[in-house]
Every structure is written in C-alpha cells, then in structure tokens.
Amino acid sequence: MDPGDGIALTFCVIFILILIVTWLSRKSLMNFIVAVLSRQQERELEQHNEDIEIGTVTEEEKTKRVAGVFSSVAESYDKMNDLMSFGWHRVWKDQFVSGLSAGLVPTTPSSDLRLLDIAGGTGDIAFRLLRHAIDIHNHPSVHLTISDINPSMLAVGRSRSESLPISHQAALSFLVADATQLPASIPDNSVDLYTVAFGIRNFTDIPAALREAHRVLRPGGVFACLEFSAVQGNPILDALYKRWSFSAIPLIGQVVAGDRDSYQYLVESIERFPKQEEFRDMIVDAGFAVSGDGYENLTNGIAAIHKGIKPVV
Ligand SMILES: C[S@@+](CC[C@H](N)C(=O)[O-])C[C@H]1O[C@@H](n2cnc3c(N)ncnc32)[C@H](O)[C@@H]1O
C-alpha cells in the first residue's frame, strides 16, 4: 500500500466513524454538534468573506487566479478528486452521463451528434460520453469537443485520451476557450448536448456562460450541469460535510499535492456557488426550459444535476 492509499484509508475510516457515532447519538446531542460545527463554519466563512472584500478582486484577476489554481493542480487533479470525495465523484459522474443517454436518439436522421464538454479538464465527462454514444448507443457519427480555459488541464486530458479506443480518439477534439466567450468556431445553434461538470462555479460571469450555452445549442438541445451544491434536509450531514471540506480538504491538498491554497480556493468556491433553486432560476433566465424542479440532488445535495432545454420556436 503506498502512502497516498494510507492517508485515504485513514480519512475514510475517520469519516465513517463520525457518521456512525452521529447516527447513534440522541437528537439533543446531534443538535449540539450541529450548532458547534455550524458556528465554527460561520466564523470561517465570515473571515473568508472579509478577506475577499478587502482584496476586491477584479474579474480579470479572478480569471487569472482560477487559471493559476488549475495549472497548479492539473497533475494531481485526478488523484486528489478520489481522495477528497472518497471516489464518489466517479459515481456522480457516471450517474450524470448515464442520465443524458448521449446518442440514444438520433438528433435528425443521419445527422452528426455534436457534443461540447465545457470546462472539460482532464476528460472524465467526455470519455464517459464517448462510451455511451459510440459503444452503448452505437451512434454512427459522434463529434465531441473538450473545451477548457486552461491548457495544462487539457494537456492532461489529451494525454489520457491516448489510451482510448481509436474510434473514440477520432471523435475527439480539444479547444482552449473561455466558457463565457466561446469562439466563432462553435457557431450558433450547432451543438446537441452541452455538458459542464464541476466547472461553472469557477466562471467569473456565470450568466454570460449560460447565455453562450444557449447560443451554441440547437433548438431542442440540452444544457446539463453537474456541480457541487447545498446539502438539503440533513443538518448533520451538512455540518459534517462543511467541516470535512474546510478542514480536511486543504490539509490533504497540502500533504498530497503540496498546495494548500488552491484546495482552500476550491472549497470556498463551492460555498459561494448559488443554491439549487437560485441556479435553476439563472438557467431559466438564460432562456432554457426546465422540467419539474429543474434539478436532481445527488447524495442529499452535496452535488446536483441541473438540466435545461433550448426551446424549439
Ligand atoms: C474542477 S475542474 C473540472 C474538470 C472536469 N469537468 C471534471 O469534472 O473532472 C474545473 C475546470 O474548469 C475550468 N475552468 C475554469 N474557468 C473556466 C472558464 N471561464 N472557461 C472554461 N473553463 C474554465 C478549469 O480550468 C478546470 O479545468
């Protein structure tokens, strides 16, 4: 067992023990724990918010800072994802991509299937989409663009893609682009499915990115987003999850990737991202139609899937 596995196992055991103890505890004790953890959390957030206000970063500075974070974490990103989420990000990604049924229904008879994975990073979502569209649904003509603002993340994705089957590699292209200003090489009404996973919370202008998604999707095309969200209906899990995020994740970042600050940023960006209903309303404001609540919670809302359809006019 290598040291990385040992650390992961230790955190896993601690987390499971905390969950068991809390589950067995009486309600009053639970309330006490929640109150203590929440208060600590509030203090930390107040401090972080003060720091941000004092710094008053411009959009350009924020974009640079995000770029710096992802350049710094690119090499360790996949390993860290497993450690931070106990591997659950794989389950969420599988569920996200299965629910999209890419390539199941031909868009129009004999037409190409055009997929755009925004903030695609190291390719986790794109590679799953290709498996579904080509291997499972046998779509005859798939084109998938992985787009990301960060060349270092895309470089890791490109190198990982070399071990894909040739048919998958042939369907892939890579594009360095800012999601809030997509280039003319992605024309209006040209995309069947737009995906963005664990990326949109980093965008400086989320409404602009949603408008771009609406512009490039064809009428009837689907916008699908997987993102960290807010725990709903389980205050114990909420308090423990926040404690884990703010304490353990920066620490793991420091120990495993030698980069505490980047992982501290990632945790804070989750906390600042709009809650489920607010984000659903932003999707509607950008011109998408949503069905039902417009979102699906995963693991009590630690993550959520939002979907919108560009109306056929
Ligand atoms: C947490 S990673 C997610 C990667 C991948 N989608 C996944 O689920 O594993 C977030 C990605 O968002 C990208 N990103 C941040 N701001 C962006 C922007 N404005 N436009 C496009 N990509 C951006 C980062 O470079 C990074 O690769």
Domain ranges in the chain?
A: 88-229+273-310
Between CA 117 and CA 125 the distance in angstroms is 7
| CA 121 to ligand 1 center in whole angstroms | 5
CB 70 near ligand 1, within 6 Å? yes
- Pocket probe for ligand 1: among 153, 202, 203, the residue whose CB has the most ligand atoms within 8 Å is 202
Query: What's residue 14's pLDDT?
Result: 64
Structure tokens at 113: 């299937």
Q: Which atom of ligand 1 is nearest to the CA of 117?
A: 6
Query: What's residue 111's pLDDT?
Result: 84
Closest residue (by CA) to atom 1 of ligand 1?
A: 198
Compute the half-sphere exposure of residue 19: CA atoms within 13 Å on the CB side of its CA.
11
Q: Which atom of ligand 1 is nearest to the CA of 119?
A: 22
> What's this model's pTM, rounded to 2 decimal places?
0.82
pLDDT (tens digit, 9 = 90+) per residue, 84-139? 788 889 999 999 999 998 877 665 555 899 999 999 999 999 999 999 999 999 88
Query: What's residue 6's pLDDT?
Result: 59
Alpha-carbon distances, residue 101 vs 88, 97, 106, 129, 217 (angstroms): 21, 7, 11, 9, 17
Using alpha carbons only, give the angle 57, 60, 64 rounded to the nearest 5 degrees: 90
CB 74 near ligand 1, within 6 Å? no
User: Does residue 74 have a pLDDT over 90?
Assistant: no
> Considering only CA atoms, which of 214, 216, 230 is closest in space to residue 279?
230
CATH 3.30.540.10 matches 88-229+273-310: no
pLDDT (tens digit, 9 = 90+) per residue, 189-216? 999 999 999 999 999 999 999 999 999 9
Say if residue 179 carries a ligand binding annotation.
Answer: yes
Name all contacts of 244-248 with Cβ < 8 Å and 24+ positions apart.
244/15, 245/270, 245/271, 246/41, 246/44, 248/11
Query: What's residue 34's pLDDT?
Result: 46
What is the rounded average pLDDT of the residues 74-83? 76
